[in-house]
Chains A and B, each alone.
Chain A
């Protein structure tokens, strides 16, 4: 049996997003996931190649997916990198500034008193195991795509995305989960609708899918920025505690 390394790449990178908390790991994993997915689409040849890049035949669609992945990852990475900057303080009154100082102290205290705990990874780990079992079983029970590999890939991406949202402890992680889900529907659409019996791929939904990925990343970056500006942390428990 031939090993499909691209499929393993999609699986492993999505698993990293599900398991880990640090954006320095998860955002690059998301970028690699987009790259693996684009190359997987090229390998499966849902669309005939119409470009030659470094001696390889590629379709424009694959290139668009790569560009989308880079754009999305850059948006999230740049947002995370610029969290230390302060925005819009000039209009704040003394109460607002005092509230910010209090939030910064609380966030600093929380970071200092929360060491690395293995137990934080138990739920995401078992969620990942569950998603893996489901992704291996569902393609046999309910095949939708043209091959088992495609079905495994989209089921895995959708389930890890959903479980990432369910187990997320911060806003950025929720965004990563949503983006994994968006990749799943992107793959499903490209693989299924390009089949001979289906209606055929249309350029507008494909373009909108890429745009949707970028807009989603922007929305998450904006909300993450707002939350950090307000509470000096991205932790969801702080957001709900503050309520």
Chain B
């Protein structure tokens, strides 16, 4: 019953907040209450205690519970951020609906249901992409519609490939047809493409770059943190449920790792090129997604620990990045239409948040990404220099990309300092001159949220041992790692 509560409670609260969607403050307040209640319920659920509902097993593993709590916390952060940052009229109900679906994915252990629920989360997210603020006097942008359409098509195709893979796996018996090519490789290929589409690995990444470019930052946060990370957990569940797929496809896994390496390298390389702030962030996320996927595909204890830790770090870093980005993009009281280069001076908290989020994605100490990157490098080193070097090169390129965007947009001299004070003209007094501009500071609640996220990233980076111990404990319970 408590399992169902975790799924159905946010659905009912989503309906309530939909009714109250025009009263933003009240809707956010309801959503925060819902998230807190769900956090309480999630901590009460007994671990690894399966229950059968309509023939479908429901259970919560320690790993899934850790991520469920993280998703709930991230949703809470986005609701707080929504108080001051731009978001659509239906952002709160859509987020609650997605939370319900994500909880269902983490609880239900049937692969067919998993595939359909993952598609359902994406269908719900489409609504958020094309959502306009309450009472908006403008039309939905054509770019936002095109982004939503692309995302919808790719996610449905990914869901179908996943479903076909699961159906084939249902009738596949190892060693049944020794004279033919093993269907395990075909099934693994279907699943690999499907998850590559969902996780936006290069060359299946275009939906993510469009999303970051044209959707509201809070919507991007929701999709990249909740939906992509859930897909990664679903992939771990697939490996756990069908270890024979991995045992029979050693060579095919090499191709999957190669795909991840290509994603790391190209993500880093694209980040170096001259492009917009948003696009650079998208490439950094692609790079980090490739690293996480490599850790998972390495199928070693170290790699898997790095991947799970990396997914957790990515969730935090992406939230920090997009909350900071949304703050940086607010009208800042200066004339619009000018490309500012002093964003760190103008918005110190948001600028620092953006830099820290970027550094966490690149995996530089003392931020949280460093340890997960180190674990993934170690897993790559076990396979030899040929796999480690491209990962290091990708990191170097991503770091250069971050440095480029920081130099171009964040670290420039302040506008006031750049324009030298002109001397008074003949007959002119100080009173004749226009008054000095008083620029608004960052909204307090969002600044506090940014600093809190930054503090969490820093704390995890400096003291990762408790999280690593939890991940190690969770990995020990995974049968496929023991089998390999």
Query: Residues of A at under 8 Å CB distance from B?
Result: 91-93, 95-96, 99-100, 144, 158, 162, 165, 171, 174, 178, 181-182, 184-185, 188-189, 192-193, 195, 197-199, 202-205, 208-209, 211-212, 215-216, 219-220, 222-223, 226-227, 229-231, 239-240, 242-243
Contact = CB atoms under 8 A, between A and B. Distances in A.
Interface residues of B, number: 38
Contact of A178 (B139, B142, B143, B156): B156
Interface string B86-128: 0000000000000000000000001011001101100100110
Contacts of B110: 202, 204-205
A181 B160 contact: yes
B182 to A, nearest CB: 13
Nearest to A203: B54
Contacts of A205: 110, 112-113, 116
A144 B168 contact: yes
> Mostly helix, strand, loop or mixed at chain B's interface?
helix
B171 A239 contact: no
A198 B112 contact: no
A223 B170 contact: no
A240 B136 CA distance: 23
Contacts of B173: 197
24 contacts: A95-B138, A96-B139, A158-B164, A181-B156, A185-B160, A185-B167, A188-B163, A189-B167, A204-B54, A205-B110, A205-B112, A205-B113, A208-B116, A208-B120, A209-B116, A212-B119, A215-B123, A219-B152, A220-B152, A226-B140, A230-B140, A230-B142, A230-B145, A243-B142
B153 interface: yes
Nearest to B127: A222
B400 interface: no
B427 interface: no
A228 B148 CA distance: 15
Given A204-B56, A208-B116, A181 B157 contact: yes
Contact of B139 (A99, A174, A181): A99
Most interface-central of B142, B143, B148 (chain A CB within 10 A)? B142
Contacts of B146: 239-240, 243
A182 B135 CA distance: 36
A92 B135 CA distance: 9
B354 interface: no
B137 interface: yes
A169 to B, nearest CB: 13
Please report whether the interface of chain A is mostly helix, strand, loop or mixed according to DSSP.
helix
Contacts of A204: 54-56, 110, 113
B151 to A, nearest CB: 10
A188 B167 contact: yes
B458 interface: no
Contact of B138 (A96, A162, A223): A96
Given A96-B139, A174-B149, A192 B167 contact: yes
A170 to B, nearest CB: 11
Interface in B148-196: 148-149, 152-153, 156-157, 160, 163-164, 167-168, 170-171, 173
A189 B112 contact: yes
B207 to A, nearest CB: 14
A202 B136 CA distance: 45
B120 A212 contact: yes
Contacts of A93: 137-138
Given A216-B156, A243-B142, A223 B126 contact: yes
A188 B135 CA distance: 46
A171 B149 contact: yes
Contact of A91 (B137, B152, B163, B168): B137
Interface of B: 54-56, 110, 112-113, 116-117, 119-120, 123, 126-127, 130, 135-140, 142-143, 145-146, 148-149, 152-153, 156-157, 160, 163-164, 167-168, 170-171, 173
Given A162-B157, A195-B171, 19 more contacts: A91-B135, A96-B139, A100-B139, A144-B168, A158-B160, A165-B153, A181-B156, A188-B163, A192-B170, A197-B173, A198-B171, A202-B55, A205-B113, A208-B112, A219-B127, A226-B130, A226-B145, A229-B140, A231-B142
B172 to A, nearest CB: 10
Contacts of A223: 126, 130, 145, 148-149, 152
Given A203-B54, A204-B56, A193 B153 contact: no
A203 B137 contact: no
A220 B157 CA distance: 14
A216 B130 CA distance: 16
A52 B113 CA distance: 30
Nearest to A199: B170
A47 B393 CA distance: 56
A106 B113 CA distance: 45
A208 B146 CA distance: 27
Contacts of A216: 123, 156
A184 B156 CA distance: 13
B137 A92 contact: yes
A109 to B, nearest CB: 18
Contact of A96 (B119, B137, B170): B137
B167 A208 contact: no
A185 B163 contact: yes
B159 to A, nearest CB: 8
Contacts of B120: 208, 211-212, 215
Contact of B136 (A91, A192, A208, A219): A91
B169 to A, nearest CB: 10
B109 to A, nearest CB: 12
B167 A243 contact: no
A239 B148 CA distance: 12
B171 to A, nearest CB: 5
A42 B116 CA distance: 24
- The 7 A-B pairs at the shortest CB distance, nearest first, are namely A205-B112, A242-B142, A93-B137, A208-B116, A185-B163, A219-B123, A198-B170
A192 B187 CA distance: 15
A144 B55 CA distance: 25
A95 B149 CA distance: 25
Contacts of B168: 144, 192
A193 B166 CA distance: 10
